[in-house]
Amino acid sequence: MKIKEMLSHKKSLNILKKTDALLEGHFILSSGLHSSKYIQCAKLLSYPVLAEKICKSLANKIKKKYKNIDLILAPAMGGVIIGYEVGKLLKKETIFCERVNGKFTLRRGFSIQKGAKVLIIEDVITTGKSSLECVKLIKKANAKLLGFASIIDRSTKKSLKIKTGITSHLKIDVPTFSEKKLPQNLKSIPITTPGSRFIK
């Protein structure tokens, strides 16, 4: 299995800008934190050829780190296409979980086999909250969590709730703020809530 594509940090940022996936404004992330920048991977995915380049680069990193993946689990919505693309490149079974009454659930006939080695893949990780919710499904199935992967890791030591490492294609440092600690310049900008967590 050969996965050739490896993109530099500069080329990756250029792709995000070219596809309008890197937005500026005042955003509430799915973690509940506020930020002046938002990475909208849905915009990246609307350009399949460019998205494939980034997914190949991530798949290459995953391949080097994890040798015995049985299953890839992706949280909806953001992780679904990323998980599928990486799963295709690595030739691994890939499923997704989705929210039912606010909690991640396996539906559509998906299941996790007992003892399976599972890798969780997201589009963007800020706190890791969604990924940690996925871990509950893995534990419930008596399967084994291998680790976490994402296209973009925008976490900080302060915000990240995941204690193990994240395999990401791109690390981007973007400050995040709680509602009580908003800087004045953000307070003056109308809030946008782009994440799927807010869809009811």
Residue 75 CB contacts under 8 Å (≥ 6 apart), including other chains: 96, 97, 98, 104, 120, 122, 130, 131, 133, 134
For 177, the token pair is: 């703020």
What value does the mean pLDDT take over residues 77-87? Answer: 92
By CB atoms closer than 10 A (0-12, 13-18, 19+), residue 123 is buried
* pTM attached to this predicted model: 0.81
C-alpha pair distances (Å), 197 with each of 59, 90, 146, 173: 26, 28, 25, 22
Please report, rounded to a whole number, the percentage of residues in the chain having pLDDT higher than 90.
Answer: 50
**Measured distance CA(126)–CA(139) in Å, rounded:** 22
Task: List the end-to-end C-alpha distance of the chain, in Å, as a whole number.
Answer: 41
For the domain covering 9-198, report its CATH number.
3.40.50.2020
Phi, psi of 174 (to 5 degrees): -130, 120
Residue with tokens 């399967």: 143
Looking at 107-195, list the stretches that DSSP marks H as alpha helix, in order from N- to C-terminal side: 129-140, 184-187
For 43, the token pair is: 């915009």
Which range of 13-17, 56-60, 158-162 scores highest in mean pLDDT? It is 56-60
**Measured distance CA(24)–CA(192) in Å, rounded:** 10
Encode pLDDT of 102-139 as tens digits: 889 899 989 999 999 999 999 988 777 888 889 999 99
> What residue ranges do the domains of the chain occupy?
9-198
